[in-house]
């Protein structure tokens, strides 16, 4: 038994935003008690949530755990430690491991290791095509039975429109979600930064925004034609947001995510050939950044996900064009996203929607993303006021590839519960369960 006492409970799924207490029993949400009704005596752990937000456990639906195969960059233990520390109860991990998660054995390996060593729920994404090669579909149904929650060749797109069409159609029978890394490879090939003034000035081979936009348009059109369900990953461009909006208006079963860096930074961050600002899709221009913000505010963008992409130092300590793509994000996603609240256009409830309720809904995780009675007791407790500076000592990930060291943050996850188990705590007297 555990009592989270008198915090601001924000649960858009049940329409709740009020001060009160949550009772946790047997790994489930057992009750909600409005302020004043919390029991005076409680036989169990009491977490004082005064002044804190109590949220359904955050879900990061775009993470690279690098396990199996690249354990020197990250593994399931350290990746989930970073997740918990960043406020996440669940992570959804991409299939570009080695071996690729294109076989039920790999899916099972991930789930079993997560169960024994993890401090967050781990939901594996399986590859759409074997070896991520874009040629043959993987065994969707078998992978789903093994625990895959969605399918994506993330890191690269499904290049062939025909293969994607087939996959969308085939997936319908099992109500599977396809997630697409939208990129026209021919247009982007050789590029290393957004095509714009900064890249041209620095002489960096450019990646046009059209490379993403064309692929998003293709993906939406194929979802429309087949009636399949598609989720567009890490949207970074203005037209990408516009296309998603258009697709939704047309009734296409399409959802979309962006990552905190796309609404926080622009390609100006690559100045000085900063490889810690190199990712794919690349950081875009200010107009794109503003459009992403607008898409978040008006509901076009469904989800904020980190695209946590750990890389060892030497693959970033080199010439810009040779550097690996991606940054770690699990420990900065929440505080950077809380930056959206400052203008008042994004409410705390909307933020919970973006980082918990919507991912749960899109992925079909019925017991997640909500604090209704009977839901899994995945709970994130946030101190919205605390001001802190993100530094190396905050990092639980094995990798350090982030452009955000030294950034002043406001707001932080101070405790996380996963099935009622405390996986992260900065609170006095409350220790995470080993």
How many residues touch other proteins under the rule CB under 8 A: the total is 23
Q: Is 242 a catalytic residue?
A: no
Name which of 72 and 197 has its Cβ closer to other proteins: 197
> Using CB under 8 A as the criterion, what x/- string covers residues 320-339 for binding other proteins?
xxxx----------------
Residues in region 294-323 near other proteins by CB under 8 A? 314-315, 317-323
392 binds other proteins (CB under 8 A): no
The terminus-to-terminus CA distance of the chain in angstroms comes to 17
| Cα distances (Å, whole numbers) of residue 188 to 9, 206, 207, 278 | 44, 8, 5, 14
Q: Which residues of 128-139 are buried (b: 16+ CB within 10 A; e: fewer)?
A: bbeebebeebbb
Angle among Cα 353, 359, 360 to the nearest 5 degrees reads 95
The nearest distance, CB 163 to other proteins, in angstroms, is 24
> Using CB under 8 A as the criterion, what x/- string covers residues 185-224 for binding other proteins?
----xx----xxx--xxxxxxx------------------
Name which of 317 and 366 has its Cβ closer to other proteins: 317
The nearest distance, CB 390 to other proteins, in angstroms, is 23
Name which of 273 and 407 has its Cβ closer to other proteins: 273
What is d(CA 222, CA 228) in angstroms, rounded to the nearest whole number?
8
Determine which helix (DSSP H) or strand (DSSP E) holds 94, and give its type and residue range. Answer: none
Determine which helix (DSSP H) or strand (DSSP E) holds 85, and give its type and residue range. Answer: helix 76-86
CB 356 within 8 A of CB 56: yes
Q: Which residues of 347-366 are buried (b: 16+ CB within 10 A; e: fewer)?
A: ebbbbbbbbbbbbbbbbebe
Given 67, 102, 267, 307, which residue is catalytic?
307
Residues in region 247-276 near other proteins by CB under 8 A? 272-273
- Token pair recorded at residue 376: 């899994």
343 binds other proteins (CB under 8 A): no
The nearest distance, CB 230 to other proteins, in angstroms, is 30
Binding site for other proteins (CB under 8 A): 189-190, 195-197, 200-206, 272-273, 314-315, 317-323
The residues carrying an active-site annotation are 307
């Amino acid at each position: 038994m555990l009592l989270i006492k008198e915090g601001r409970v924000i649960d858009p799924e049940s329409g709740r935003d009020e001060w009160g207490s949550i009772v946790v029993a047997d790994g489930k949400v057992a009750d909600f008690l409005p302020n004043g009704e919390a029991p005076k005596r409680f036989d169990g752990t009491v977490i004082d949530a005064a002044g804190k937000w109590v949220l359904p456990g955050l879900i990061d639906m775009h993470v690279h755990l690098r396990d199996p195969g690249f354990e020197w960059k990250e593994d399931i233990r350290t990746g989930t430690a970073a997740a918990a520390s960043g406020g996440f109860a669940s992570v959804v991990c991409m299939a570009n491991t080695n071996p690729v998660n294109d076989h039920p054995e790999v899916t099972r390996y991930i789930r079993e290791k997560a169960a024994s060593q993890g401090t967050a729920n781990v939901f594996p994404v399986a590859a759409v095509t074997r070896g991520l090669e874009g040629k043959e579909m993987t065994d969707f149904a078998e992978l789903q039975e093994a625990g895959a929650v969605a399918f994506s060749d993330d890191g690269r797109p499904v290049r062939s429109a025909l293969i994607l069409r087939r996959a969308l159609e085939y997936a319908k029978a099992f109500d599977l979600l396809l997630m697409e890394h939208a990129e026209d490879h021919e247009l982007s090939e050789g590029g290393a930064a957004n095509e714009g003034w900064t890249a041209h000035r620095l002489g960096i081979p450019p990646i046009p925004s059209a490379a993403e936009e064309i692929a998003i348009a293709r993906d939406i059109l194929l979802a429309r034609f087949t009636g399949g369900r598609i989720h567009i990953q890490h949207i970074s461009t203005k037209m990408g947001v516009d296309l998603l909006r258009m697709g939704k208006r047309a009734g296409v079963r399409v959802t979309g995510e962006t990552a905190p860096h796309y609404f926080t930074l622009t390609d100006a961050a690559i100045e000085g050939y900063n490889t810690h600002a190199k990712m794919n899709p690349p950081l875009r221009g200010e107009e794109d950044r503003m459009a992403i913000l607008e898409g978040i505010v008006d509901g076009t963008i469904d989800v904020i996900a980190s695209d946590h992409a750990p890389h060892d130092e030497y693959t970033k300590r080199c010439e810009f064009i040779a550097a690996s793509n991606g940054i770690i994000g699990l420990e900065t996603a929440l505080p950077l996203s809380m930056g959206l609240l400052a203008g008042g256009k994004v409410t705390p409830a909307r933020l919970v929607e973006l980082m918990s309720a919507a991912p749960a809904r899109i992925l079909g995780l019925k017991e997640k993303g909500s604090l209704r009675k009977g839901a899994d007791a995945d709970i994130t407790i946030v101190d919205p006021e605390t001001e802190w500076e993100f530094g190396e000592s905050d990092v639980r990930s094995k990798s350090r590839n982030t452009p955000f060291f030294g950034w002043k943050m406001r707001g932080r996850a101070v405790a996380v519960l996963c099935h009622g188990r405390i996986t992260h705590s900065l609170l006095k007297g409350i220790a995470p369960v080993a």
